[in-house]
Amino acid sequence: MSQMLTNVESLRGALHNAMADDSAVVVFGEDILDPYGGAFKVTKGLSTAFPQRVFTTPICEGSIVGMANGLALRGMRPVAELMFGDFITLAADQLINHAAKFPAMYNGRVTLPLVVRTPMGGGRGYGPTHSQSLERMFCGVPHLSVVAPSIFHDAGKSLRAAIASAQPVVFIENKLLYPLRQQLHSTATLQHEFLDAEAEYPTVRLRNFGAGNSPDVTLITNGGISRFLPSLLQRLSDEEIRLEALIPASLSPLPPIAPFAAAAANSGRVVIAEEGTTSNGWGAEFAARLYESCMGKLACPIVRVGALPTVIPAAKQLEDEVLVSETTILNAILKVFS
Amino acid sequence: MMTASPNFFTSTDQTAEHFYAQMLLIRHTEQQFLQLFAQGKLNGTVHTCIGQEASAVAVVNALDLQRDVIFSNHRAHGHFLAYCGDVEGLLAEVLGREGGVCGGIGGTQHLYTRNFYTNGIQGGIAPCAVGAALAEKMQGSGAIATVFLGDGTMGQGVVYESMNIAALWGVPILFVLEDNGIAQTTPKQQEHAGDLTTRAQTFGIQTFTADSFDPLALHATAVAAVGMVRQQQCPAFLAVSCYRLGPHSKGDDTRSAEEIAMIEQRDPLRHLELQLDPQQLRQIQQAVEERVRLAVEQVLERPLVATNTTGLTIGRGEE
């Protein structure tokens, strides 16, 4: 009954199963040992079950990922946890100049099966350096994958795919998704399917309308933004606006653009929503790809929604002002619909 | 009495003849690089270890080359040749010709063969080497890892993170500091406070010191350090005092003629030459010259690497 699992339960189960299935899997991170089990409890129980292969580390994100690189080059399958996604900047050299370089610059003669898991996103009042969504800074780095499951993905399955991959993966978890139950099937009011179920990291298609109808608007989004969708799709349904949401789990490289372009051409109206800031971001890249394929087929310009281009404040009312909300996305949809 | 067979390049004898042959092979190969660059046949750059060959040869020969792992840096030709002796593979890699060890993608700073890895980022290889050593320990292979660092790299924080973890977890890794006293053009005294040789000690890491002027003595120290790392499953730090005779890269030497002349007096090749029988010496010199000359001729006759190289496409999605 995987659809009953919360996001954190799904991830935790995947880590347990991956370690049980393959003795090459090793897990590292700060404060991940039991009884604490990690700041967000994804690794809870792991060090009790696999004491020889779960390591609590000093505070040194660069070396955590660097060690994982060395382990991966020498036949292990390391899964490194960075306690907060904001700290990934300290590991940027290891991700960009080491993990993403070794296999390609050695002409494909080595593999580097690395997973770096880290929670991104705001909404918990942690302030400017513990709330960001920095994944866009690693999108577009050749030979580095960035994966972010939504609440409509089986997060554990995505994590298993990342661990099984021969390539380095930055695996983004969203803090606000952790306690939410995954929604992996259609309901009376919400059609759930995968665009490409056989893909390593599939794209979810959600619709608030039944077969035989065309969408009015296409929403492309990922990760933590998915928490708004059940309510948002219901509100749009009440307004008799048919919304098709496309939610890729692979942020970089982007999945093949053709089905997205077909969906965009079908509705003629596209909104792209992301948790972080929009400049030079994931949504900008997606919009550029769509324009390359959809020139002349859209009824109006693509609208992007993201956080305000500033720091994320600690005070709740200020944080709410900066971050994307259901209302911001709703307003963007109403804007392209009018 | 040794013969002038090319086998002495890969001999496992820990003798002055063997070390001299390997050091001279490195010297001649790197001098060829500088000549080929001057002739416009070498694209990009090289960082030679001319003057420092003894460190590469003495330390690498202290390792178990069947299983131990080596990480090296931007100045890696000496370590590479001491490890595998593949002159053609290195030449082809740096010249962009067919048969280069990394298909011409890596070039001088990014070499890979068997258990030997290099990267051009200062210090970043230190935690990679710790991870590699940890992997060998977890797999029970009996192998250790060695990482070569320069004095300039001792400014990088990640080096100390790596020492901390290696000591904390009992990781079998030998940190080798090749201290040539200069980082590109900046003397050590303008970059570092305190004494570099004592820095590992604060982590409880046993420190060994040696001078590359005497390759056999350096080798004996390296053997002791490697033995300790392997037997006690813990890190060690080997600080090698050495001298860079050539420029950092090519034309970027700002040192005075007097200083270079002083360094030439510390050339370990000269030191070994005095220990060898003149006839042996000539045999080795002729053999090395022949080996490098033929390698250069042969590699320059090879075609340039084709542009559809597979390593560039691995793991790349729809772009």
pLDDT digit string, tens, across residues B156-181:
999 999 999 999 999 999 999 999 98
pLDDT at B5 over 60: no
User: Which residue does chain A place closest to B319, by CA atoms?
Assistant: A253
Q: What is the pLDDT of residue A338?
A: 83
pLDDT at A3 over 60: no
Q: What is the pLDDT of residue B6?
A: 47
| Cβ contact, residue pair A143, B110, below 8 Å | no
Task: Give pTM, 2 decimals.
Answer: 0.95
- Give A25 to chain B, closest Cα distance, Å: 11
- Range(s) for CATH 3.40.50.920 in chain A? 191-337
B203 touches chain A (CB under 8 A): no
- The question of whether A192 is a catalytic residue gets the answer no
CA distance B273 to A195: 72
What percent of chain A clears pLDDT 70, i.e. is strictly above it? Answer: 99
Report the residue from B106, B121, B165 with minimal CB separation from A106: B106
- B10 confidence band (pLDDT: 50, 70, 90): low
Q: What is the pLDDT of residue B246?
A: 80
Q: What is the pLDDT of residue A39?
A: 96
Q: What is the pLDDT of residue A251?
A: 98
Q: Which of A185, A40, A107, A116 is nearest to B308 (CA)?
A: A107
In B, residues 163-202, which contact A (CB 8 Å cutoff)? 164-165, 168-169
Q: Which two tokens stand for residue B51?
A: 């003057």
How does the average pLDDT of chain A come out, rounded?
96
Segment among A58-62, B38-42, B149-153 with least mean pLDDT: B38-42
Q: B-chain residues within 8 Å CB-CB of A52?
A: 138
Q: What is the pLDDT of residue B9?
A: 61
User: Which residue does chain A place closest to B318, by CA atoms?
Assistant: A256
Q: B-chain residues within 8 Å CB-CB of A75?
A: 135, 139
Q: What is the pLDDT of residue A5?
A: 97
CB A19 within 8 A of CB A50: yes
CA angle at A88 for the pair B173 and A134, rounded to the nearest 5°: 160
pLDDT at A134 over 60: yes
Instruction: Tally Cβ neighbours within 10 Å of residue A296.
Output: 5
CA distance B226 to B147: 12
User: Which residue does chain B place closest to A95, by CA atoms?
Assistant: B124
CA distance B219 to A75: 30
CA-CA-CA-CA torsion for A184, A187, A189, A192, nearest 10 degrees?
30
Dump strand ranges (E) for chain B: 69-72, 112-113, 116-118, 145-150, 173-179, 182-183, 186-187, 206-211, 236-241
Amino acid identity, position A148: A
Dump strand ranges (E) for B33-179: 69-72, 112-113, 116-118, 145-150, 173-179
Strand, helix or coil for residue A150 = coil
CA angle at B84 for the pair B80 and B86, rounded to the nearest 5°: 85
Segment among A148-152, A209-213, A323-327 with least mean pLDDT: A209-213
A182 touches chain B (CB under 8 A): no
What percent of chain B clears pLDDT 90, i.e. is strictly above it? Answer: 76
- Give B217 to chain A, closest Cα distance, Å: 31
Report the residue from B125, B311, B319 with minimal CB separation from A253: B319
Domains identified in chain B and CATH numbers? 15-304 (3.40.50.970)
CA distance A257 to A270: 14
List, for residues B46-75, the tens digit of each pLDDT value: 898 999 999 999 999 999 999 999 999 999
**Higher pLDDT among residues B253 and A250, named by residue:** A250
- Side by side, the strands of the sheet bearing B69-72 are B112-113, B116-118, B69-72, B145-150, B173-179, B236-241, B206-211
List, for residues B183-217, the tens digit of each pLDDT value: 888 989 999 999 999 999 999 999 999 999 999 99
Exposure of B298 in the CB half-sphere (CA atoms within 13 A): 13
pLDDT at A246 over 60: yes
- Give B91 to chain A, closest Cα distance, Å: 15
CB B309 within 8 A of CB A107: yes
Which secondary structure element, helix H or strand E, spans residue A216, and what is its range? none
CA angle at A161 for the pair A160 and A166, rounded to the nearest 5°: 115
CATH 3.40.50.2300 fits A191-337, yes or no: no
CB B213 within 8 A of CB B275: no
Q: What is the pLDDT of residue B8?
A: 60
- B254 confidence band (pLDDT: 50, 70, 90): confident
List, for residues A265-288, the tens digit of each pLDDT value: 999 999 999 999 999 999 999 999
User: Which residue does chain B place closest to A285, by CA atoms?
Assistant: B319
- Give B288 to chain A, closest Cα distance, Å: 28
| Cβ contact, residue pair A66, B162, below 8 Å | yes
A202 touches chain B (CB under 8 A): no
- B7 confidence band (pLDDT: 50, 70, 90): low
- B319 confidence band (pLDDT: 50, 70, 90): very low
Can you tell me the mean pLDDT for B285-313?
Answer: 90
CA distance B54 to B213: 7
In A, residues 109-128, which contact B (CB 8 Å cutoff)? 109-110
- Give B132 to chain A, closest Cα distance, Å: 4
Can you tell me the mean pLDDT for A225-237?
Answer: 97
List, for residues A77-120, the tens digit of each pLDDT value: 999 999 999 999 999 999 999 999 999 999 999 999 999 999 99
- A2 confidence band (pLDDT: 50, 70, 90): very low
Q: Which of A336, A263, A258 is nearest to A292 (CA)?
A: A258
- Range(s) for CATH 3.40.50.970 in chain A? 2-174
Q: Domain A2-174 is in which class?
A: alpha beta
- Side by side, the strands of the sheet bearing A270-277 are A191-194, A203-207, A243-248, A217-221, A270-277, A303-307
A140 touches chain B (CB under 8 A): no
A253 touches chain B (CB under 8 A): yes
CA distance B124 to B162: 10
CB B162 within 8 A of CB B127: yes
Q: B-chain residues within 8 Å CB-CB of A72?
A: 131
| Cβ contact, residue pair B309, A74, below 8 Å | no
